[in-house]
Amino acid sequence: MGINDTPGHDVGDVVLCEVAATLRAAARGQDAVGRQGGEAFVLLLPRTGPEEANVCAERLRQAVASAKPGAGLRVVPVTASFGVAQAAAGDTWRTLFKRANEKLYHAKSDGRNRVAMAG
């Protein structure tokens, strides 16, 4: 169930903005954070190997889980699931995103609030 489904759009929009701010604050200077749509975000971790990407994703997951978004409206506990994939020779944005998205769904189906890494 999405963040806007339970507390409503007024609270959900504030929470999404605060989650984005949490991700940006916890990301490294070289990383890019963007909202893909809904409550999905995409992070680009340039010059980062798979193990380091996994560590980064776990750090970001913990930052989101420990945040208390709500901007005074009402605190809404939030968790984050991450799918991590590394670009390979011949990848397009589409194929890379597809692998990361598949891992995201594995993380969600395995209980949420976790990081799943493409092999």
For the chain, the structural domain boundaries read: 9-117
| pLDDT tens digit sequence for 34-48 | 988 888 899 999 999
Q: Tell me yes or no: is domain 9-117 CATH 3.30.70.270.
A: yes
| pLDDT tens digit sequence for 65-119 | 888 776 566 677 788 999 999 999 999 999 999 999 999 999 999 999 999 998 6
Other CB atoms closer than 10 Å to residue 10's CB: what's the count? Answer: 11
The answer to whether the pTM exceeds 0.85 is: no
The catalytic site residues sit at 39
The pLDDT assigned to 38 comes to 80
25 contact partners, CB below 8 Å, separation of at least 6: 63
